[in-house]
Amino acid sequence: MINEEQLQLYEDQPIRSAWDEENEEWYFSIVDVVAVLTEQPDARRASTYWAVLKKRMKEVEGAVELLTSCKQLKLKAVDGKRRSTDVANTEQLLRIIQSIPSKKAEPFKMWLAQVGKDHIEETLDPELIAERLVATYERKGYTREWINQRLQAISARKELTDEWKTRGVTGGKEYAVLTDELTKAWSGMTTRQYKSHKGLKKESLRDNMSTTELVLNMLAETATKEISQSSEPTGFEQNKSVARRGGNIAGNARKELEKELGHSVITSQNAMQLNHVISAMVEASSNISEEEE
């Protein structure tokens, strides 16, 4: 069961990976590794190289068992779509690397060891996960205020899903339905409608919210959790009712704020546009400071 999917960086080159919590091991996109080690210019040529290498390993090297044991996972491609991709765990990948003539092979092996070490350290000290998230968001241009709010939102979401699990809610589909109820109650839109409003497809909605939107969404999720703990709902329909009640609390707060401001606090801007505005503000502030000096 794959519990976490993320991009790992090797010399600023992205390697798609997924963490299998049950087996406690990473799976890496073989095509991405081939692209890095053989310095292929694009994914298509890397795929072609891997197809030729795979055939040679089967017919010449007799590595049929190894290649048969490699999995396929649906990983997100550059265009945002998920496609079936050959993946290998660390042991399998090290064997595949042996068949690739590359001067980068040894440094890559060291990198693989570091990735495993980092995950073990994060398991022992969860604060390291937060530090990695902060560093990732900073590289993407988010402000410190937004990052702090996002980390709190992640915590609030985890508390809510834990509560849902306690109340017998099972699986991603039921979580998605309850999230839709909650989101529609506070924003007036389902999750899909909200993403469409921001021009998103597969991207994370929360990563494309403004600070105010994040706060309201977190209020909805926290209120839902608190009401659930108080009323102890049983069954899916009762949990849906609680999700609407929690969402309505944040919805009322949104309406009161919009009444004071005279405009909607739900923006159609996504992360790229929001960060562009922030960058422009910082640059303008810097220019003013220089003129004053």
pLDDT at 128: 57
Total domains, the chain: 2
Q: What is the mean pLDDT of residues 258-285?
A: 71
Q: How far is the C-alpha of 154 from the C-alpha of 292, rounded, in Å?
A: 41
pLDDT at 10: 75
Residue 46 corresponds to which tokens in the numbers above? 């890397």
pLDDT at 243: 96
User: Within this chain, do residues 85 and 177 fall inside the same structural domain, yes or no?
Assistant: no
Q: Is 134 part of any domain?
A: no
pLDDT at 98: 82
Q: Is the pLDDT of residue 36 over 50?
A: yes
Band of pLDDT at residue 6, cut at 50, 70 and 90: confident
Instruction: Please state, for a pLDDT cut of 70, what percent of the chain lies above it.
Output: 84
Q: Is 188 part of any domain?
A: yes
Three-state helix/strand/coil letters over the chain: CEEEEEEEEECCEEEEEEEECCCCEEEEEHHHHHHHHCCCCCHHHHHHHHHHHHHHHHHCCCCHHHHHHCEEEEEECCCCCEEEEEEEEHHHHHHHHHCCCCCCHHHHHHHHHHHHHHHHHHHHCCHHHHHHHHHHHHHCCCCHHHHHHHHHHHHHHHHHHHHHHHCCCCHHHHHHHHHHHHHHHHHCCCHHHHHHHCCCCCCCCHHHCCHHHHHHHHHHHHHHHHHHHHHCCCCHHHHHHHHHHHHHHHHHHHHHHHHHHCCCCCCCCCHHHHHHHHHHHHHHHHHHHHHHC
How would you list the strands of the sheet with 13-20, edge to edge?
A: 2-10, 13-20, 25-29, 82-89, 71-76
Predicted confidence (pLDDT) per residue in 112-162, tens digit: 766 666 655 555 455 556 677 777 777 777 888 888 888 888 889 989 999
User: Within this chain, do residues 187 and 64 fall inside the same structural domain, yes or no?
Assistant: no
Predicted confidence (pLDDT) per residue in 91-105, tens digit: 888 888 888 888 777
Q: Which residue has the higher pLDDT, 181 or 200?
A: 181
Predicted confidence (pLDDT) per residue in 193-230, tens digit: 999 899 887 678 888 899 899 999 999 999 999 999 99
User: Within this chain, do residues 114 and 20 fall inside the same structural domain, yes or no?
Assistant: yes
Band of pLDDT at residue 259, cut at 50, 70 and 90: very high
Place of tokens 């929360």: 206
Give yes or no for a contact between 107 and 43, defined as CB atoms under 8 angstroms apart. no
Q: How far is the C-alpha of 53 from the C-alpha of 96, rounded, in Å?
A: 9
* Residues spanned by the domain of 23: 2-124
User: Within this chain, do residues 118 and 147 fall inside the same structural domain, yes or no?
Assistant: no
User: Within this chain, do residues 15 and 110 fall inside the same structural domain, yes or no?
Assistant: yes
Between 42-56, 114-128, 228-242, the lowest mean confidence (pLDDT) is in 114-128
How many other β-carbons are positioned within 10 Å of the β-carbon of residue 276?
A: 13
pLDDT at 291: 35
User: Within this chain, do residues 97 and 171 fall inside the same structural domain, yes or no?
Assistant: no
Q: Is 135 part of any domain?
A: no
Question: Which of 74, 97, 124 is a domain's end point?
Answer: 124
Q: What is the mean pLDDT of residues 56-71?
A: 84
pLDDT at 164: 94
User: Within this chain, do residues 286 and 152 fall inside the same structural domain, yes or no?
Assistant: yes
pLDDT at 284: 43
